[in-house]
Structure formats: C-alpha cells, structure tokens
Amino acid sequence: MTTVDVYGSRVRQARVLRRKTSKAVMAELGWKGARQTRLEQAQTTALDVAELERLAQALRFPTEFFTTAPVSRVDAGDLLFRAPRATTAGEKEYLAQFAAAVGDFLVAMDSRAALPPVKLPVLDAGTSIAIAAELVRERMGIELEAPISYLTYEAERCGVPVVTRLRRSKSTGALSWDPVDDDTTLSEKHLGYATRVGEYGDRPLMVIRASGSWERTRWTVAHELGHLVLHAGRSEVTEDQELQASQFASELLAPAKVIAAEVPKVPSLLNLVPLKLKWGISIGALIRHLAASGLIDEQRFEMLRRQLYTRVNPDTGHTWGKTEPGWDAREPERPRLISRWVERCYGANSAAMLTSHQLMWPQDVLEDFLAGQRPAPSRSTAPDPAPAYEGATVIAFDQFRQRRRA
Ligand SMILES: [Zn+2]
C-alpha cells in the first residue's frame, strides 16, 4: 500500500474554501468518527494514495495541494476589520483561509518574479492621522497638494496586492453578501479586510468587495490602508480603530490642510461636488472629514448629512446618500498587480490559461484570485470590460483533472 503525507491545514483550507462541513465531507467519503477533524488537526497524516484521490475529488482540489506544505498562516484573529455582529465564526474562517490561499499563490509568484517591495510603513497606533497619511503619500511619491488619481494602483505599487471578491464566488457558487449590505456607505459592514500573508507575515494584502460604486471602492482601499499602517498588531479591531482607519482614509484622499482653501464659504451638497470629484472622495465622507477637521461646524454637518440621506436623486430614485451627485463620474477602480504577475510568471491572462501550468490550485479558485483584475495594458488598448459581478462558472472537475493529467 502506497501512502503519502498529507498536510492537515491544507485539508482544512480546501474544505473551508469549498464551504463544506467536516460532516458533509465524511458522509461523502464514508468516514466514521472524528476522522476528518483528526486529519485536519494533525501536522501531517500518511494517507493511502487512493484515499487521497477520493478526498481530492470530494473537495475538488488537485492532490498536489494536500501534499504541498502551507506557507501563509492567517487566523480569523489576523484579519484587520471589524466584523458586524452577525458575522459567524465560519465566515471569518473562510475569509482567513481565502487570504492565506491568496498569500500562498503570491509566494509562488514572488519566487518566479519578485513582487513590488513593501513600501507601506507600519506605525504606532498613536501616530497622528495627518502624519500617518502624509507619510503614506510620501512613500507613494505623491505630494500633499495632489489628488491621488488611481489609489488602487498606488497601493499595489507600495507592495499591497488587492483582491476583489465577487458577490458570487466562483469556487463556492454561494452569494457572499446580501445586496442590502451593499447600501451601507460609511458604517463599515465589512466592505473589505486587510491582513498580512507570506512566510513571515510581512506581505500586506487587501481583499475588497466588488462594488458598482467608485466612491465606495476607493474609500474602502484607503480605509484598509489605514488599518495596515496603523493597526499591525494581532488584536481584534476596535470601534476606535475603525474610526481611525476611516479618518485616515479621508485624510489620505483629501488632506485637510490642503482642501481647507477650497471649501466653499457656505457648503452645500451641490457646491461640494467639484471638491468631491477633484479629490475622489464621496460627499458623505467629505462632510464628515470637514467636520472632524473643524472646516465646517457641527450644525452645518448635521444639515448636510440630513439632506444627503433624505433627499432623493431624481436620476436614480435613491437618496443622495446612496447615489450622490457625481456617482457616475468615474468607473470603480480595479486592481491589476495579480493579473500582471500571472502574465509575467506564467504568460497567462486568465485562470483557464493557468491550468496548463499544473498549479496546485483548481481553476475556479484561481478565478476567485483573479476576479475583477484589470487586464494587463500591453494586451489591448481597448477600455477594460466591466467585471462580471454575478454568475458562477460551473467547472467540470473530471475534465479539469484529465487536463491536468494530460
Ligand atoms: Zn475597517
């Protein structure tokens, strides 16, 4: 009987990424007792090759995945975000495993072509927000007086890969969030999260939800940068830290001491639009920022906020709070680093093209890694196609396995 050593954390990772319970896996394999749990908790277990084949088939991962040592270790406690109370332990575990999986994919690419070095500073949580934001701009090479035209690109140039999660994941087929959640503008209900991956946990990584709102997408990237810069320690993100990350986001996008000169004498929702468009920050975040920086008084802030969330935008039928003036002025930003590196390392520009490289990742998981990425510019000068936010591709696993064997 031939056996191979199987890594317990890989078994767990594959199961969690498929959103399967141990019970379901055991039922499928006809296993008894706590075998699945024992397998997952052990460092390695010697499994019969035929049994590994069946496990791999049940979890729809190549066998190589289970015999390859994991590199990135991310626990739910390593995630920089404040999960809404309704977030289950299972959901957090999924987000952690997803980040660890992306992390190992990045490690594999980094060994072929070095990723951009990490330039993002790690600061003490007590650092003033203005100083922290200024330092990050300095690392990005962007002057205080200049708007940041494409923040996602700047984050990636600072060594922070950005992954977009589609509402319907390719690898699980499940809808990951309720569309109602998507209505939240400023009170974060997990629009994204950040963590660190890689062998030494020193590669920052950001995972953000695909959103049709350019304001929200940009602001979420800025907010996650705030967490990465200010909250590097391993502890649950507090309400105060959420506020800090949000203040950082606004200050990074629109430095208060620079925009002070541009704020209209009597700010209204409409006369703030030019400021919004110039600096790329939502009016909702902007008025909060102006109030926090003492550039408008509390009374004016309350009035503007009330208008924003009660007046209806006649073009969309939603309140201005949901679709603000200027909501359609830009396309949501999209990351590019991962697609760029996939092309650089494997000459591939899609998950399907990666299958010929015998990677240990299933195609649909790779599709999740690559979701929403901008194609590399060298390929075409045509405008990027809009990412598909909906719909799942059904992967024929047998075909996939046969291709791999071929
Ligand atoms: Zn946050």
Which domains are seen in the chain, by residue range?
3-67 (1.10.260.40), 71-258+332-406 (no CATH)
* 78-135 pLDDT, tens digit each: 888 877 777 788 888 999 999 999 999 999 999 999 999 999 999 987 899 999 999 9
Please tell me the distance between residue 87's alpha carbon and the centre of ligand 1 in angstroms. Answer: 14
Please tell me the distance between residue 80's alpha carbon and the centre of ligand 1 in angstroms. Answer: 7
Structure token digits, residue 85: 């109370």
Distance of CA 99 to CAs 149, 184, 324, Å? 27, 24, 32
Amino acid, single-letter form, for residue 319: T
Please tell me the distance between residue 301's alpha carbon and the centre of ligand 1 in angstroms. Answer: 23
pLDDT at 22: 92
Instruction: Give the closest residue to 253 by CA, choosing from 224, 222, 228.
Output: 222
Please tell me the distance between residue 285's alpha carbon and the centre of ligand 1 in angstroms. Answer: 14
Please tell me the distance between residue 35's alpha carbon and the centre of ligand 1 in angstroms. Answer: 38
In a structure prediction context, what are the per-residue pLDDT tens digits for the chain, which is 406 residues long?
799 999 999 999 999 999 999 999 999 999 988 899 999 999 999 999 999 999 999 999 999 999 999 999 998 888 888 777 777 888 889 999 999 999 999 999 999 999 999 999 999 878 999 999 999 999 999 999 999 999 999 999 999 999 999 888 888 887 776 665 444 443 335 689 999 999 999 999 999 998 889 999 999 999 999 999 999 876 678 889 999 999 999 999 999 999 999 999 999 999 999 999 999 999 999 999 999 999 999 999 999 999 998 988 888 888 888 888 898 899 999 999 999 999 999 999 999 999 889 899 999 999 999 999 997 655 444 444 444 433 333 333 334 334 333 3
Please tell me the distance between residue 216's alpha carbon and the centre of ligand 1 in angstroms. Answer: 13
Please tell me the distance between residue 270's alpha carbon and the centre of ligand 1 in angstroms. Answer: 29
Please tell me the distance between residue 290's alpha carbon and the centre of ligand 1 in angstroms. Answer: 20
pLDDT at 318: 86
Instruction: Give the closest residue to 45 by CA, choosing from 73, 70, 9.
Output: 9
Please tell me the distance between residue 225's alpha carbon and the centre of ligand 1 in angstroms. Answer: 9
Please tell me the distance between residue 223's alpha carbon and the centre of ligand 1 in angstroms. Answer: 6
pLDDT at 181: 47
Please tell me the distance between residue 121's alpha carbon and the centre of ligand 1 in angstroms. Answer: 18
CA torsion through residues 396, 172, 100, 43, sign: negative
Ion ligand 1, residue ranges at CB < 5 A:
81, 188, 242, 245
Please tell me the distance between residue 224's alpha carbon and the centre of ligand 1 in angstroms. Answer: 6
Please tell me the distance between residue 206's alpha carbon and the centre of ligand 1 in angstroms. Answer: 11
Please tell me the distance between residue 82's alpha carbon and the centre of ligand 1 in angstroms. Answer: 6
HEC letters along the chain: CCEEEEEHHHHHHHHHHCCCCHHHHHHHHCCCCCHHHHHHHCCEEEEEHHHHHHHHHHHCCCHHHHHCCCCCCCCHHHCECCCCCCCCHHHHHHHHHHHHHHHHHHHHHHHHCCCCCCCCCCCCCCCCHHHHHHHHHHHHCCCCCCCCCCHHHHHHHCCCCEEEECCECCCCCCECCCHHHHHCCCCCCCCEEEEEECCCCCEEEEEEECCCCHHHHHHHHHHHHHHHHHCCCCCCCCHHHHHHHHHHHHHHHCCHHHHHHHCCCCCCCCCCHHHHHHHCCCHHHHHHHHHHCCCCCHHHHHHHHHHHHHCECCCCCCECCCCCCCCCCCCCCCCCHHHHHHHHHHCCCCHHHHHHHCCCCCHHHHHHHHCCCCCCHHHCCCCCCCCCCCCCCCCCHHHHHHHHHC
Structure token digits, residue 350: 């899609």
To the nearest 10°, report the CA torsion of 371, 376, 379, 384.
60
Structure token digits, residue 61: 């991962």
Please tell me the distance between residue 359's alpha carbon and the centre of ligand 1 in angstroms. Answer: 33
Please tell me the distance between residue 172's alpha carbon and the centre of ligand 1 in angstroms. Answer: 25
Structure token digits, residue 392: 């799942």
Please tell me the distance between residue 341's alpha carbon and the centre of ligand 1 in angstroms. Answer: 27
Please tell me the distance between residue 178's alpha carbon and the centre of ligand 1 in angstroms. Answer: 19
Please tell me the distance between residue 181's alpha carbon and the centre of ligand 1 in angstroms. Answer: 15
Please tell me the distance between residue 26's alpha carbon and the centre of ligand 1 in angstroms. Answer: 37
Please tell me the distance between residue 33's alpha carbon and the centre of ligand 1 in angstroms. Answer: 40
Q: Strand order of the sheet with strand 203-209?
A: 162-165, 203-209, 192-197
Please tell me the distance between residue 193's alpha carbon and the centre of ligand 1 in angstroms. Answer: 7
Residue 130 to residue 224: CA distance in whole angstroms = 16
382: which residues sit within 8 A by CB, 6+ positions away? none
Residue 210 to residue 372: CA distance in whole angstroms = 7
Q: What is the CA radius of gyration of the chain?
A: 23
Residue 183 to residue 321: CA distance in whole angstroms = 9
User: Do residues 62 and 404 touch, judged by C-beta distance below 8 A?
Assistant: yes
pLDDT at 394: 33
Residue 169 to residue 393: CA distance in whole angstroms = 9
Please tell me the distance between residue 192's alpha carbon and the centre of ligand 1 in angstroms. Answer: 7
Burial classification of residue 240, based on how many CB atoms lie within 10 Å of its CB (0-12 exposed, 13-18 middle, 19 or more buried):
exposed
304: left (phi over 0), alpha (psi -120 to 50) or beta: alpha
